[in-house]
Amino acid sequence: MSHIILKTLLPGLHWVEIPAIGLRMQCGCPPDANKYLRVAGFISQDLHGETGPNAILLADRIQAPCPQKNWVLPNAAEFPLMHIFYLQGWQIPGHPNNDGRKPLLIGQPDEIERQLQYLYYGNYGLDSIEAMQAAGMSYNEATAFWYAKQHFAFGKICPMHEWVRTIPLPDYQPVAIAENCYLQRIAPNHFALSYQEERIEIQLAIEVFPSAYSLPPVTLPDSSQNCILLHIGEGDGWDHTRPCMASALLFGNQYYLIDAGPNVWQNWERTGKTIHDVAGVILTHAHDDHAIGLIQALAYGVQLTVYCSNFVEAHFRQKMSMLLGVTFAELDQFFNFQRLQMHTWNTIASHHGALLEAMPCHSLHPIETHIYYFRHTDAAGREKTYGHLTDILSEKVMRQMEQHCPSEHRWLFDFVRKQYYLLADVKKIDIGGGASHGMAEDFAHDPTPVKIWGHLHRPLTGRELEIGQARHFGMWDVL
């Protein structure tokens, strides 16, 4: 009887399990890796939350990042490690799985360090009051948001080495990763794992993989006379049945995506269009389920235009420069950043007397995050507004944060609430719940006529459908 279980999910994603020593290793770390594991049944519910890997083997980095066809991001460990920390509960105070264990992160030393730095900024965002001020916040704003960040971080900003046990792999030398278990890199992206008398080999192919879910083809409506809100994602980073929460605005035969999550370009091609048809991406924040598609865009040799505030841009540069191993300045060869002013209508495009504008507003989330309102004014002066409320905070959690908040920072909560409940004709709203997402019941008295739910990985309840509505990939609303 074999002691080592090896399952291949994709050419660059394998599952290795050794029950006798409790090792559950994800080998390879492509974007959306956890969704592939869910489809295969290696992540599931248990009494304490979810099961899943407790070790990650990173792929070797072979090519330097460059905006050219066929470049592939080798590793994106943010969501696999966040799954261990939060959905498996390893870093949640008081959780049964928070027992002092640390997940293993295994790979080339330089790649481990890149992943830890990118994970650090993905977890915390800009990591000091001074960094937030450098991005343009006032001292009053920065100190209030710093209070919120510390609450999300359970009171302490920690280097990732405190949360993760790293195992660097020297070339061609076996390294112990558990009792009687050794891992050896025998060639680039070719590894040998041995346990007692057994030995297996693991090869990781670095390539773009299909989405974990299937999507129908979409026929786009004519947007020459109207502004069309196209729904291209209502799930979250854990939902293996559909894309992460996103939308697209079709205006004057131009296409603007709101966020770019994993595999967004493959999904977008179901509309009959390609990345080359996209005039720009409006970025809410730099978590991978909203932004890693911007990094995947490098494989198409396209310099995308990215609309965001200076706060989100500063964090995106900090995090993604670490992921790619490039300088802030080198990111400019990959992206054309267009800064938007906060709480102000910014012109995105005009067409035959019609106008499309965007207004970013602060949200409360562990990292720098904005909700957006979009205003379409037609040639006759008629206006319609769409609110894209991703990664918001529920009233329940806001009240908990307020309870012990110093009086000088309490203005922040009512300020953010005001942005959440601005009147619009249509809103898409994050109701993922938990410690860092919204809840439908908070919008029961919001007078917005069309409220659409998103950012969750479960079916909608009857009560949620009384308050709002569902949309699916390829559906649209006219603005």
Q: Estimate the share of the chain in helix, then strand, then coil, as percent rounded to the nearest 5.
A: 30, 30, 45
Provide the mean pLDDT of the chain: 95
> If pLDDT is split at 50, 70 and 90, which confidence band does 1 have?
low
Q: Which domains does the chain have, with CATH numbers?
A: 5-203 (no CATH), 227-478 (3.60.15.10)
Q: Is the pLDDT of residue 71 over 90?
A: no
In this predicted structure, what is the pLDDT of residue 158? 92
Q: Is the pLDDT of residue 334 over 70?
A: yes
| Summary count for the chain: helices (H), strands (E) | 11, 25
What percentage of the chain has pLDDT greater than the value 70? 99
Q: What is the pLDDT of residues 231-270, one digit of tens each?
A: 999 999 999 999 999 999 999 989 999 999 999 999 999 9
The helix/strand/coil state of 160 is helix
- Whole-angstrom Cα distance, residue 137 to residue 221? 40
- Report residue 380: phi and psi, to 5°: -90, 0
Q: Is the pLDDT of residue 301 over 90?
A: no
In this predicted structure, what is the pLDDT of residue 172? 87
Q: Which long-range contacts (CB under 8 A, 24 or more apart) does 199-204 make?
A: 200/4, 200/6, 200/16, 202/6, 202/14, 202/16, 202/27, 202/57, 203/11, 204/11, 204/12, 204/13, 204/14, 204/27, 204/28, 204/57, 204/59, 204/60
Q: What is the pLDDT of residues 105-142, one digit of tens each?
A: 999 999 999 999 999 999 999 999 999 999 999 999 99
What mean pLDDT do residues 369-394 have?
A: 97
In this predicted structure, what is the pLDDT of residue 286? 98
Helix residue ranges per DSSP H, 325-410: 395-403
Pairing of β 175-178 and β 426-430? unpaired
What mean pLDDT do residues 217-236 have?
A: 92
Cβ 287 vs Cβ 260: under 8 Å: no
What mean pLDDT do residues 335-340 have?
A: 97
> If pLDDT is split at 50, 70 and 90, which confidence band does 196 have?
very high
**Token reading at 423:** 């009147």
- Whole-angstrom Cα distance, residue 248 to residue 97? 39
Q: Is the pLDDT of residue 180 over 80?
A: yes
What mean pLDDT do residues 351-370 have?
A: 97
Pairing of β 5-10 and β 190-195? unpaired
What mean pLDDT do residues 275-299 have?
A: 97
Q: What is the pLDDT of residues 6-63, one digit of tens each?
A: 999 999 999 999 999 999 999 999 999 999 999 999 999 888 889 999 999 999 987 7
What mean pLDDT do residues 327-353 have?
A: 94
Strand partners, 13: 10
Which letter does DSSP use for residue 459 in this model? P
Amino acid residing at 172: Y
In this predicted structure, what is the pLDDT of residue 68? 67
Sequence-ordered strand ranges (E) for 340-382: 346-351, 354-362, 370-377
Q: What is the pLDDT of residues 417-471, one digit of tens each?
A: 999 999 999 999 999 999 999 999 999 999 999 999 999 999 999 999 999 999 9
In this predicted structure, what is the pLDDT of residue 2? 82
Q: Is the pLDDT of residue 100 over 70?
A: yes
Sequence-ordered strand ranges (E) for 318-465: 335-339, 346-351, 354-362, 370-377, 383-389, 426-430, 450-454
Q: What is the DSSP string of 67-130?
A: SSTT----B--HHHHHIIIIIS-TTSTT-TT-SS---EEEE-HHHHHHHHHHHHHHHHSS-SHH
Q: What's the burial of 214, exposed, middle or buried (CB within 10 Å: 0-12/13-18/19+)?
A: exposed
Q: What is the pTM of this model?
A: 0.96
